[in-house]
């Protein structure tokens, strides 16, 4: 999967509804089109999507972005979910935040993006997803972007 293909798939998300709530057991109208599209692709494309997603999230793992993520930048999980908002917002939004950390969406979270590859895999294969993404999603994993 190319980066262009990844970003084309991301456009299937409803970026205007990223902060919408979903009840347990309900289908997520924001992620469902992306899950459906991924599940229609070969299995290696699902893992490639996951690897690219991990790369984009990893690239935003840095002190400059955390400082502008509001309270989310102070907590490992919340900072990851805030970075998910940036990726889910699309290529242009991502490029803007990547080049200008002050544009981080402070206080916003989109944890559900992280579930997309596993849900697509389960729908495609009927099995649990066991792929480990290429890049760590942990806060401070990208040590080059942190001074401490």
Task: Compute the CA torsion angle 114, 30, 41, 24 (nearest 10 deg).
Answer: 60
Task: Kindly state whether residue 100 falls inside one of the protein's structural domains.
Answer: yes
Predicted confidence (pLDDT) per residue in 19-53, tens digit = 777 766 667 889 999 999 999 999 999 999 999 99
Please tell me the predicted confidence (pLDDT) of residue 121: 98
Residue percentage of the chain with pLDDT more than 70: 96
> Is the predicted pLDDT of residue 140 greater than 90, yes or no?
no
Task: Kindly state whether residue 8 falls inside one of the protein's structural domains.
Answer: yes
Which of 10, 3, 145 has its CA nearest to residue 85? 10
Instruction: Specify the number of domains making up the chain.
Output: 1
- Cα–Cα distance for residue pair 45/126, rounded to 1 Å: 16
> Is the predicted pLDDT of residue 15 greater than 80, yes or no?
no
Domain boundaries, position 122: 3-13+30-138
Cβ atoms 7, 24 nearer than 8 A: no
Q: Which of 9-18, 59-68, 84-93 has the lowest mean pLDDT?
A: 9-18
Task: Kindly state whether residue 95 falls inside one of the protein's structural domains.
Answer: yes
Please tell me the predicted confidence (pLDDT) of residue 25: 62
Task: Kindly state whether residue 61 falls inside one of the protein's structural domains.
Answer: yes
Task: Kindly state whether residue 20 falls inside one of the protein's structural domains.
Answer: no
């Amino acid at each position: 999967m190319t980066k262009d293909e990844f970003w084309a798939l991301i456009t299937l998300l409803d970026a205007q509804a990223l902060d919408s709530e979903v009840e347990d057991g309900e289908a997520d109208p924001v992620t469902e089109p992306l899950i459906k599209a991924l599940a229609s692709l070969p299995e290696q494309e699902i893992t490639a999507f996951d690897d690219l997603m991990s790369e984009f999230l990893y690239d935003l793992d840095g002190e400059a972005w955390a400082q502008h993520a509001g309270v989310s930048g102070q907590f490992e999980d919340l900072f990851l979910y805030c970075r998910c908002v940036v990726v889910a917002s699309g290529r242009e939004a991502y490029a803007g935040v990547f080049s200008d950390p002050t544009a981080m969406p402070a206080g916003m979270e989109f944890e559900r993006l992280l579930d997309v590859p596993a849900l697509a895999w389960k729908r495609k294969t009927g099995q649990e997803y066991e792929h480990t993404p290429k890049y760590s999603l942990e806060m401070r994993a990208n040590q080059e972007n942190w001074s401490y």
